[in-house]
Amino acid sequence: MTPSSPEVVLLGNLLVDDIVLRDGGTLMGEPGGAVLHAALAAALWGAKVGICSVAGTDYPALALEQLVEKGIDLAGVRRLDRTGGRAWLLYEPAVRRTVHHLDCPTHADVSPTLNDLPASWSAARAFHLAPMPLERQLELAHGLAPQSPETRLVSLDPFELVRDGTLTAWREVLTHIDLFFVSEDEWRLAGDADAIIPALAGPRLAHIAFKRGGRGGRLVNLHEGRSRTWASRAREVVDVTGAGDAFAGGFLAGLVTHRDVNQAIEQGIVSASFAIEDWGGRGLMAATPAVAAERHAEWFAGAKT
C-alpha cells in the first residue's frame, strides 16, 4: 500500500435527503448516501478511508468539510455542475418510504465509474460497492476483481433485488466479490439463501452478511460452513437508516486492520449504534474514535474472539 492510498475505499452515492418525520416535522437538505455512513463508520477505527462518488452542487459543503476533517480522502469524489441525487425520506407509522426527486440526474449519473478511482488508490486493501444500479456494480466488480482476495477484498451491498429476473446478472456479479451484504428484503428467491448463493457465486465468495436492520444480522462463512449471528445495540433507537451501511464500514475497517471476523463484527455493531441513535448521518458525524473505543470496551470486554 502506497502512503497516499486509503486502506478502505467506498464506492457509491452521496445523496441529499429531505426527511419528513412521523409527526410532520422535517429535516431538509440532510447529507446522506450509503458511502457517507460507511465512511464515517470506518474512520472511527483509525482506518485510512477514501470515498469514490459523485456530488452535486447541492450536497452540503459543511458535510464534505467535516469528512475531510475526520481524515476521509475525497480525491475520488467527482463534482457535478448541477444538483445531484436527492430523495424524500417519508416516515410513516410502520415503514419508511423513499421517493426520489423527479428533477434529479439518473441513478447511474450519480454513481462512480472506474475512471473516478484515483490511480494511487489501486493498492487499497478493501473496496466496497454500496447500492448502485446493477450494471454499474457489475462493471466495478469486474474491474476490481483481478487481484486475489489475499491482496484485495471486494464487498458489495445490492440496490437491485436478487430475484428471478436479475438472477443471470447476479450470477456474474457474485463471481467477482468476496463479501456480500444483503438484507432480507433484498433477497427474493425462493429457497434457502445459504444453499443458493454458493451455487451462484463460485469459489471466490467467502462470506455473506445477512442484514436484519435493528435486529442485527448473521454472517455466514461459506468456505467453513459456519455462521454467527449478532444483535444490534444502541443507547436508544431513533432511526435505523444507515445502520447497515455503518455496520459494513466498521466491519471492513476491522477486517483489514485485525484480520479477525469477530473483531470486525464487534466494530460493525458499535458503528451501527451511532447511526441508530439519531436521524440520518447525524449520529455518525458526531461520533468520535474515543467514544467508539469506550463502547467497544464496555460491550465486548472479555468476549470470546
Question: Does residue 243 form part of some domain?
Answer: yes
Q: What DSSP assignment string belongs to 171-232?
A: HHHHTT-SEEEEETTTB--SS-HHHHHHHHH-SS--EEEEE-GGG-EEEEETTTTEEEEE--
- Pairing mode of beta strands 26-32, 15-20: antiparallel
Say how many domains are in the chain. Answer: 1
For 239, the domain range is 8-15+34-83+108-300
Question: Does residue 101 form part of some domain?
Answer: no
Question: Does residue 293 form part of some domain?
Answer: yes
Question: Does residue 195 form part of some domain?
Answer: yes
Question: What is residue 305's predicted lDDT score, i.e. its pLDDT?
Answer: 42
Question: What is residue 193's predicted lDDT score, i.e. its pLDDT?
Answer: 77
Question: Does residue 210 form part of some domain?
Answer: yes
Question: Does residue 167 form part of some domain?
Answer: yes
For residue range 16-68, what is the model confidence (pLDDT) as tens digits?
999 999 889 999 999 999 999 999 999 999 999 999 999 999 999 999 999 99
Question: Does residue 155 form part of some domain?
Answer: yes
Question: What is residue 287's predicted lDDT score, i.e. its pLDDT?
Answer: 97
* Mean pLDDT of the region 172-190: 89
Distance CA 3, CA 120 (A): 9
Kindly tell me if the per-residue pLDDT of 292 is higher than 70. Answer: yes
Question: What is residue 73's predicted lDDT score, i.e. its pLDDT?
Answer: 98
**Confidence class of residue 181 from pLDDT cuts 50, 70 and 90?**
very high
Question: Does residue 95 form part of some domain?
Answer: no
| Domain CATH for 278 | 3.40.1190.20
Mean pLDDT, all residues of the chain: 91
